[in-house]
Structures are given as structure tokens and as C-alpha cells.
Amino acid sequence: MHGFSQYTEPWDVMQIRDLPYPDPGIPDVRSGPRFLYWLGRNQLGGQLKSLSWGLLHQCGVAGLPLGVGLAVQAVVDGSGRSLALAAGLIALLGAAVALGDTMLHRTAVTNWITAAARVQQLLARKTAELGSALTRRVAAGEVVAVSTGDVEKIGWFVEALSRFAAAALTLVVVCVGLLVYQPALGIVVAIGVPVLALAVLPLLPKATRRADAQRELAGKATELASDTVAGLRVLRGIGGEELFLGRYRDASQQVRRAAVRSARMWALISAVQVLLPGLLLITVVVYGAKLTLDGRVAVGELVTVYSAVTLLLYPLRHFEEIAMAYSFSRPSAQRAARVLSLERTAPAPGDEAPAPAPAHAPGEPPSGDLYDPATGLLAPAGLFTAVVCGDPDLAGRLAERLGGHATSDTSVPGTATDADADADGWTPPSALLGGVALDDLPLMTARGAVLVQDKDPVLLSGTLAELLDVPASGQVSAADALDAAQCEDVLAALAQTSADRVDDPMRTRITERGRSLSGGQRQRLALARSLVTDPEVLVLDEPTSAVDSHTEARVAAGVKRLRTGRTTVVFASSPLVLDQADRVVLVHEGEAAAAGPHRELLHTDPRYRAVVTRETDAEGAEDAAKAAVPGAVRHGVREEIEESA
């Protein structure tokens, strides 16, 4: 659906003091130009206001030559009364120019800022909707580029649009006025001005292509810089700083060369915008002088036409600016539309309708077993279920699907771009909680029902108390969560490194992304934050991969103790975690192949044993030959799971 939000009227004039928008609306993300059109249409009131002030300003500027010409003619004629009238007209036009310029700048900048704010709100809403799934579909550097430089360029185009419209209307008014005022010279101007305005059109496609190439290379350089900064700690550990610094130098040089090539084209366009008006001015002067000598044109009329043509250079500059603004904003809008087009995965067209969902209170999250139809994975309600998956990438995607976080790209209708989609565009069906598809639930309801912590959680800067101040059920205290996550040494480390030397550990500050802590310490703090939330279903993707074995065993026991009676799903392959689980499910080749207690599966299923004990290929093949299981028995596990679901 594309259109206006119920809270946004296109004729409303949004003021900066009214930001943020109550609702930024539903953007048209079918293409970059459509997105730009949608932004402009949603600011119609502000655009018309800016256009009105622009007309006052530019028509005032264009009218000054008339006052000057009348004054010159009054001096030639020796008329004091006419000179006084001309002076009054010039003063009035000067006031109009001052007022129009001031208010045009005010309204145009307001349009710029409000458009940029709308785009940033849309991006923030999409980021909150998709969560960690966003960076799996779009590189983090591209998200940064869209939310910073691209937003500014989109705002620039929206702001320049009304000034360009005012300039175009001013040119029409001046040409018509000169035709009426002095037809002999006015016809020359009326023919020459459209030629000047359209002369740069043949150069624009090449300039646009070069600008697009520059923006693409700049985006790649930004992505490289963002990824390098994020992995700087690892790079220093392996001595890879110089390698990546060299790559960034190469990327920067490519951007520089592309920028120079693009600047050459825009310099050529600027030169044309100066050369052709100069030729028109020379033509008007030579032809006008001849007409004046013949007595067909008065001196004042010649001065008026000459001054008008001189001042026409100002509105003509807006044609160059709007071309540049569109050339730079179109790829920016395309990238923004691509990010905003990502949606929570929905069933592919033609899929069978899901079975009617069990009734539950509106707005309340459903409860019951968590089931993934794509793999047959079942996590019974109230139990600690561990999932063993040999493919870490598949495990991450499955964890996100269990939380309803998988995404699809709607920018191209009929295609699915989720990593799980097959070549025919099939998208995995939504996970079910208590028989209710998570994709069918409102976003906030689904997020309240299932919390997913990925393998690389982010810690924001601030105090420990602020880190743990999250929406929660209130049943789990911060102290209990920190104890279950075995964070005693983390608290001690924070106290030692704190510059404030505070006695209360909850008041100690955490640096950006927790960079002052080790990987295991960051994992445990993130786990404590998830435990405080106390959701109906908690999905953890490798929550102890960076801690030592002794701590890992205690963390697993603490999580099981604190989550008693709550549904918990942990993706792990460590025997210390698996031994604490009430139930273990092996996901093999995309389907739930076996389920049962850890120790039982360890002795009965060679595939499970190969993943958990890291057997070599030869050892695994030997065990598989000794304990081959008939296909009917293997599939019987999945059938049993699906029946129970």
C-alpha cells in the first residue's frame, strides 16, 4: 500500500518545532524517483509556501531592471516626477527582494530538514522492525551511508524543487513581460532563454552516470571503513591493520578519481551556463544598440532589457542546481528505498492459507509450543530446548525465523531475497507460537512473545543500570540475571576500569559496544539483559561461545534455573550446554532429524555425535556405516514432531 499516513496531510506546513512526525507515513519504495515524488507530495504545503516566497523574491529581482530603466528614461526626459516614481518602485522591489529572500531561505531549509527527518524516522522505524535481520540483508556500512550522506542529498533535492519551480515561473513571467514591454528585443530574449535552459540536457546523462559511479564507489569505501572499524580489535590481533589500510587507500583513490571525472562534467555544464547567457547578452546589446540608433528603441528600454537579461542568469542557475540535486539524490533515494522495502517474511503467493489460529486475547502474545514448519523444529512450552546445527549460518537464520525476524525484499514484486529462499523464490513459512504464525501478529506483540539474542549482541554505551533498564515482566531482578549469567568478574572489571571509581557496580559505565570488555564478558552482560526481559520465549544463538568451559557450565545451569517454566531455545554444540537441556534437537540438512536427551543422542545418532564431538570425516563415516538408520525411521522422527505440533 502506498499513500499518505492518517496523521499526515499533504497541505499541512510542517515546522521544525513539530518534529518528529507523529507518523512519518507509508513510503512508496517501488523505485528511487517514486520515493522522491512521495516525499515531495507529502510536503505539498511546505513546497507551495516556499514557491510563493521564491516567486516574490525572484520576480522582485527581475523587476529591478524596469525601475532602473524608468529612472534612466526619466533623467533623459528631465522628468522629476517620473524619477521619483521610479525610485519608489525600486525601493518597493528592494523590500520585496529582501523579504522574499529571507522567507524563501527559511521555508526551503525547513523543507530540507523536515524531509531528512522523515527519511530518518522511516529508517529508524524499519531498523526497529527488522532488528538484527537488517544487517544480514544490507551491509552495515550501507545502512550508515543511507542514514547520513544519502539523507542529506535527498533533503537537498526536496529543498531545491520549490526554488527551481519559482525560477522557471520567473523566466516565463520575464519573457512574457519583455515581449509586451519591448517586442523587438523581447522576441530575442523569448527565443534565447529556452535554448539556454535546455542546452545542458545532452550533457546530463553522462554527468549523472559519473555521479552514480562516484556515489557507488563512495558507498563501498564507507562500508569498508565501517567493517574495518568494527573488526579493528581482531585486525590488531592478527597484524592485519596495514593490509586493510592499503585496501582503504585504494578505495579512497578510486573515489577521488571518480569525483574528479564527475566534477569535470559539472564544470563543463557550469561553463555552458556562463557562455551561452553571455552570447545572448552580447546579441541583445548589439541588436538593441542598432535599434536605438534607428530610433525604434528608447535608451531606457534598452537599459531595461539589458539589465533583465543580466539578471536572468540568477534563475537559470537553478536549472543547473536541480539537475545536480536530482543526479545525486536519485541513487541515494534508490538505496533508501531498497532498505525501506525490506519486510517481515510473508507466505509466498499461492501458498496454502494457514490453519485458523487458536483464539487468544487481542494484543496479548500467544503461548504454547514454538514450531518451525520449514525444518520441523519443535520447542515444547516451558522446556529448555537445545538445537544442534552443523551449519552456523543456517543456525543464525533459523534463530531469527523463530523470532519472526526473517526479511524479504519487496522492491521487486514476486521475488524473495531471504537467505533461506530457493531459486524459485519460495520463502520459508513463518514460525508458529501456540499455533499462531508470528508473521500474522502485530510487530510489538511478536517481539513481546519471542526475544532473540544473536551470536554477536551489541552493548550500548552507558551505565550498567541503563543497560539492564529494558522492558521486562518484572519477575526477574537485575541481580538474579547477573548471577545466572555469571557476571561477578564482569562487575569487578567494570569497577576497576571505571574513571569515576563508584562503589555501586550498577553505576559503572560501559564504553561504546563494550569494547573495554572481553568477548566473553560482553556475551554474559548481553545474556543478563535478555534474562531480565523474561520473555515468554527466549531464543539464544551461541550465548557462551566466547567463555571458558568452567564458566560455560555454570552459565548453562544458571539459565536453566532462572528460566524454569519458561520456553527457552539455545543454539549450541557444546556438551556442557546440551547436557543441561531438557530436550535436544538435531537439525541436519535443513530438517529436524533427531530429538531426545543429549546423552541418548550421543550414543545413538552418529550425525549428532559428529557435530558435538567434532569427529573427523573418516570417523563419522565409520560410525554411520555401523549405525545406519533406515530412511523410514529417520523420517519418523519428523513425522512424530509434526504430529505433536
pLDDT(613) > 60: yes
Which CA distances in Å does 288 have to 186, 308, 353? 10, 13, 78
Mean pLDDT of 471-484: 90
DSSP-assigned letter for residue 19: P
**Phi, psi values for residue 432, rounded to 5°:** -115, 135
Q: Could you tell me the three cell numbers for 586? A: 538435531
User: CA 56, CA 99: separation in Å to the nearest integer?
Assistant: 8
User: CA 290, CA 288: separation in Å to the nearest integer?
Assistant: 5
The answer to whether the beta carbons of residues 530 and 541 sit under 8 Å apart is: no
Q: Could you tell me the three cell numbers for 496? A: 576497576
Q: Where are the domains of the chain?
A: 16-342, 363-456+536-645
Residue with more model confidence, 568 or 123: 568
DSSP-assigned letter for residue 146: I
User: CA 644, CA 634: separation in Å to the nearest integer?
Assistant: 16
pLDDT(411) > 50: no
Q: Which pairing describes strands 436-437 and 432-433: parallel, antiparallel, or unpaired? A: antiparallel
| 3-class SS of residue 631 | helix
Point out the least confidently predicted range of 46-60, 239-253, 412-426: 412-426
What's the pLDDT at 421?
47
Report the mean per-residue pLDDT for the chain: 79
pLDDT(142) > 60: yes
Q: How many CA atoms lie within 13 A of 334 on its CB side?
A: 10
Mark out the alpha helices in 563-616 (DSSP H runs). 575-578, 598-604, 606-613
DSSP-assigned letter for residue 345: -
CA 315-320-326 angle, 5° bins: 120
Structure confidence at residue 580 as a pLDDT band (50, 70, 90): very high
Exposed e or buried b for every residue in 182-200, given b needs 16+ CB within 10 A? Answer: beebbebbbebbeebbebb
What's the pLDDT at 406?
60
pLDDT(637) > 50: no
What's the pLDDT at 377?
93
Which CA distances in Å does 459 have to 56, 177, 329, 407, 553? 53, 65, 33, 24, 23
What's the pLDDT at 531?
94
User: CA 468, CA 481: separation in Å to the nearest integer?
Assistant: 9
Write the pLDDT tens digit of every residue in 248-284.
Answer: 888 888 888 888 988 888 888 888 878 888 888 888 8
Write the pLDDT tens digit of every residue in 65-94.
Answer: 778 888 888 888 888 888 899 889 889 989
The answer to whether the beta carbons of residues 590 and 375 sit under 8 Å apart is: yes
Write the pLDDT tens digit of every residue in 110-124.
Answer: 888 888 888 888 988
DSSP-assigned letter for residue 26: B
Give how far the C-alpha of residue 612 lies from the chain's centroid of Cα atoms, to the nearest Å.
39
Q: Is 396 exposed, middle or buried (0-12, 13-18, 19+ CB in 10 A)?
A: buried
What's the pLDDT at 227?
63
CATH, range 363-456+536-645? 3.40.50.300
Q: Is 326 exposed, middle or buried (0-12, 13-18, 19+ CB in 10 A)?
A: buried
CA 43-47-51 angle, 5° bins: 175
List the one residue out of 220, 274, 286, 292 whose CA is nearest residue 250.
220
User: CA 196, CA 315: separation in Å to the nearest integer?
Assistant: 11
Write the pLDDT tens digit of every residue in 20-72.
Answer: 888 888 899 888 889 988 988 888 888 899 999 988 988 888 888 778 888 88
Mean pLDDT of 451-457: 85
List the one residue out of 54, 34, 30, 51 whose CA is nearest residue 42.
34
What's the pLDDT at 500?
63
384 contacts: CB under 8 Å, gap ≥ 6: 559, 560, 563, 568, 570, 580, 581, 582, 583
pLDDT(19) > 60: yes
**Could you say which of 1.10.3720.10, 1.20.1560.10, 3.30.565.10, 1.20.1290.10 is the CATH number of the domain covering 16-342?**
1.20.1560.10
Beta bridge partners of 408: 343
Write the pLDDT tens digit of every residue in 329-385.
Answer: 888 888 888 888 887 654 444 444 344 444 455 556 688 899 999 899 999 999 999
What's the pLDDT at 86?
86
User: CA 363, CA 441: separation in Å to the nearest integer?
Assistant: 9
pTM of the model: 0.62
Q: Which pairing describes strands 537-541 and 583-588: parallel, antiparallel, or unpaired? A: unpaired
Same fold, 16-342 and 363-456+536-645: no
Q: Which pairing describes strands 432-433 and 370-372: parallel, antiparallel, or unpaired? A: antiparallel
Write the pLDDT tens digit of every residue in 486-536.
Answer: 998 888 877 776 666 666 778 888 877 677 788 888 899 999 999 999 999
Q: Is 640 exposed, middle or buried (0-12, 13-18, 19+ CB in 10 A)?
A: middle
Q: Measure the CA dihedral 492/497/503/506, to 10°.
A: -70
Residue with more model confidence, 528 or 298: 528
What's the pLDDT at 132?
63
Secondary element (H or E) of residue 257: helix 241-293
Which residues in 40-95 belong to E strands, given as ranges?
none
